[in-house]
Structure 1
Amino acid sequence: MNNLTSRRTRPVALAIGAVMALSLAGCSKAENTGGSSAAGSAGGGPAASAAASQSSGGNCTIAQTGYPKLDLTKAKVGFSQSEKEGNPFRIAETQSIKDEAAKLGITNLLTTNAQSDLNKQISDIKSMLAQGAQALIVAPLNSDGLQPALDAAKAKKVPVVTIDRLVTSKPCTDYLTFIGSNFVQQGQRAADAMDKATGGKGEVAILLGSSGNNVTTDRTKGFKDELAKYPGLKVVVEQTGEFDRAKGQSVMEQLIQSHPEITAVYAENDEMGIGAVNALKAAGKNPGKDVKVVSIDGTKNAVQLITKGEYNAVIESNPRFGPLAFKALQDFEAGQPIPDKIVISDDAYDSGNAAQKVNNAY
């Protein structure tokens, strides 16, 4: 695991406009738009994040909730990060929240880090509420288990925007909205990238993410469902690497011994994918050639490995939630309807574009 500084240079006007349009659009069935944002495709700086679709279900308004109206620039806003920030995704995610708060002139931003401990995250959120937080942005550790913290926020009439991981609680009742990627689609795109990298033939190992959250479930489902279209690709083993580089490397070392037939690896985040590359090298194999590697995230380290020929493809999972999260809170406070789900746009990297777009990675 390594520390990387978040890079976030692309203007946010497109993202803000997209969210406003989405919020005003009313209730509609979810649409799967896929692909990268227009800005990301153009090869400029990182996409600030464009809302792509909204889920079915109602739209939430401040009148429905009975919450007091706030001037966010004068309010105390809390951000609860769930995991240790050795992971580049979490570094970029937190920095995006801080950057957008600064841009909007919000000077009273409380930040906490649960260090991958659910009980600590609940305690962190309650602590911020005790300190007078009037709005919250939460990156949940798991899909389940956060209800006590959400109940505490509801009791104080504090709106909560959740990002990255979808909680099983009820939108507009327990939390305002969820902002995140289409994780099923990410898995589908990874399967398509795997087909392209392997020529449609291979024995595939899956390095699963941590259990208990929708990211792992959805990325696995999307990949397997899409892989069924490619009869020459077969999943021979799957084992959790817990979204961790060291764990991914350890698991891959075991799989090399127990399944020497493996010719491709699908890692459900870049950190595990990089760990797999390290294990393959130590075993005398040539990752990217002998064993194809495809993962999800969009970290600079993984994209750089593509440019070296040691990795084959990365599907981005965009961590730049700041513009969308604060825009949702602004629109809510202004009385506009907020959809229960806002989908952020994700890019992709492979041997054809990695060298040109490596600076887009975080």
Structure 2
Amino acid sequence: MRTKRIFGIFITASTLVSLTACSVSTTPGGSDSGGKKAASDGLSIGFSQATQQSPFYVQLRTGAEQAAKKAGAKLNFADAGDDVTKQNNDIQDLITRGVDVLLVNPVDPKGVKAGLAAADAAGIPVVTVDRPVPSGAVAHVGRDNKEMGRLVGAEVVKALGAKGGKIIEIKGDAGGAVARDRSAGFHEAVAANSKIKIVAGPYCDYIRAKAVTAMQDLIQTNPDVKAVYAHNDDMALGALQVLKENNRTDVKVAGVDGLMEAVKSIAADGPYIATALNDPISLGATAVQTALDAQAGKKVSAEVDAGTGLIDTGNAATYSGSTTFALAGKK
């Protein structure tokens, strides 16, 4: 294993205080000795994740941990808690611990620039996962979020029929590429029916509780709503909860990610009609493999597309199972 040169990075005193080892967990097995590792420990991967407040990101971590363990690598994990300042501190902490390669799921693609610059100065390759950055990464592993929005949008158009109607869109995170693309793809698909009107809901950060609160207001101001599209299934399920509480099971609901709770609702032929496959376990595994290839000096693609697909009433039963999300590879 090569020895890396870690350059001193100028940071403020307040930043130094915030760089604490307790922010990072290490898996698999063994104690961490201040970043100094024996050769038998294998490669060390740092994984700085934006948040753990969504089931998708919890499973993304699980997928990465499983893949790292299988490869004989050590995964050092840090949860930024949706705080970009903490994420930059976490990245610096991981660098100080001596990781060989970094996986980054950015809170803010532009705001994480300082952390990426520190990794570059230390000679550590960075691979982003799920959310891309403008620059500073050797590769990005994700899925075509615009295609996801397009697939789900086409299904909603079909469900509404020629009469169209009003659709409420509940958004992910402000300024995020995932939210932007899932919205753009959906808008492109519904543009095929001029009788469809989209009402822009608030950004709910992919969190169900926030979507519940938003939907409670939206259903009052939009009593004529015919469908709800959310940028992930967790928010869509929050909207569905409010619709049911108001006896509005006539309103169609669609989301993205293939959350199993949503898949089973689709299979039950209820108001939930569609989602797009976004298996976080396989995404985490692909990200880890890409990071290991990058660290080994292998040629990696700048954009690694993990693939997607539509889950609707016709195939939802096939995807139903005991996992948290529908698994890729099923038909």
**TM-score, with length taken from structure 2:** 0.81
Question: Residue 93 of structure 1 is aligned with which of 19, 43, 60?
Answer: 60
2:243 matched to which residue of 1?
280
2:32 matched to which residue of 1?
none
How far, CA to CA, are the matches of 1:124 and 1:236 in structure 2? 38
Task: Tell me the amino acid that sits aligned with residue 47 of structure 2.
Answer: F
CA contact (8 A) 1:144 1:213 kept: no
Question: Residue 46 of structure 2 is aligned with which of 78, 88, 105?
Answer: 78
Report how far residue 96 of structure 1 moved: 0.6
Report how far residue 81 of structure 1 moved: 1.5
1:15 matched to which residue of 2?
none
Task: Tell me the amino acid that sits aligned with residue 187 of structure 1.
Answer: G
1:63 matched to which residue of 2?
none
Higher relative contact order (CA 8 A, sep 6+): 1
1:352 matched to which residue of 2?
314
How far, CA to CA, are the matches of 1:206 and 1:270 in structure 2? 12
Q: Percent identity?
A: 32
Report how far residue 331 of structure 1 moved: 3.0
CA contact (8 A) 1:80 1:138 kept: yes
Aligned partner of residue 297 in structure 1, secondary structure: coil
Task: Tell me the amino acid that sits aligned with residue 44 of structure 2.
Answer: K
CA-atom RMSD in angstroms: 1.8
CA contact (8 A) 1:303 1:361 kept: no
Task: Tell me the amino acid that sits aligned with residue 143 of structure 2.
Answer: S
CA contact (8 A) 2:104 2:126 kept: yes
How far, CA to CA, are the matches of 2:117 and 2:279 in structure 1? 29
1:304 matched to which residue of 2?
264
The verdict on how the C-alpha distance between 1:136 and 1:310 changes in structure 2, with shifts beyond 3 A counting, is same
Q: Once structures 1 and 2 are overlaid, which stretch shifts more, 71-80 or 341-350?
A: 71-80
Gaps of 5+ in 1: 1-70
1:192 matched to which residue of 2?
154
2:113 matched to which residue of 1?
147
Aligned partner of residue 314 in structure 1, secondary structure: strand
Aligned partner of residue 249 in structure 1, secondary structure: helix
1:50 matched to which residue of 2?
none
How far, CA to CA, are the matches of 1:282 and 1:162 in structure 2? 40
Aligned partner of residue 120 in structure 1, secondary structure: helix
Equivalenced residue count is 283
How far, CA to CA, are the matches of 2:198 and 2:45 in structure 1? 45
Task: Tell me the amino acid that sits aligned with residue 110 of structure 2.
Answer: D
1:317 matched to which residue of 2?
278
1:120 aligned onto 2:86: yes
1:293 matched to which residue of 2?
253
The verdict on how the C-alpha distance between 1:227 and 1:330 changes in structure 2, with shifts beyond 3 A counting, is same
How far, CA to CA, are the matches of 1:186 and 1:333 in structure 2? 30
How far, CA to CA, are the matches of 2:311 and 2:99 in structure 1? 39
1:255 matched to which residue of 2?
218
How far, CA to CA, are the matches of 1:317 and 1:294 in structure 2? 14
How far, CA to CA, are the matches of 1:237 and 1:342 in structure 2? 31
Q: Once structures 1 and 2 are overlaid, which stretch shifts more, 322-331 or 125-134?
A: 322-331
How far, CA to CA, are the matches of 2:120 and 2:76 in structure 1? 18
Aligned partner of residue 140 in structure 2, secondary structure: strand
The verdict on how the C-alpha distance between 1:321 and 1:221 changes in structure 2, with shifts beyond 3 A counting, is same
Larger radius of gyration, structure 1 or 2?
2
Report how far residue 238 of structure 1 moved: 3.1
The verdict on how the C-alpha distance between 1:254 and 1:97 changes in structure 2, with shifts beyond 3 A counting, is same
How far, CA to CA, are the matches of 1:275 and 1:145 in structure 2? 29
**TM-score, with length taken from structure 1:** 0.74
Cα deviations across residues 42-81 of structure 1 (Å, max 9, x unaligned)? Answer: xxxxxxxxxxxxxxxxxxxxxxxxxxxxx99722211111
2:183 matched to which residue of 1?
220
Report how far residue 116 of structure 1 moved: 1.3
1:181 matched to which residue of 2?
143
Report how far residue 338 of structure 1 moved: 1.8
1:340 matched to which residue of 2?
302
Gaps of 5+ in 2: 1-38, 326-331
Report how far residue 241 of structure 1 moved: 2.3
1:132 matched to which residue of 2?
98
How far, CA to CA, are the matches of 1:258 and 1:164 in structure 2? 34
1:62 matched to which residue of 2?
none
Report how far residue 203 of structure 1 moved: 1.1
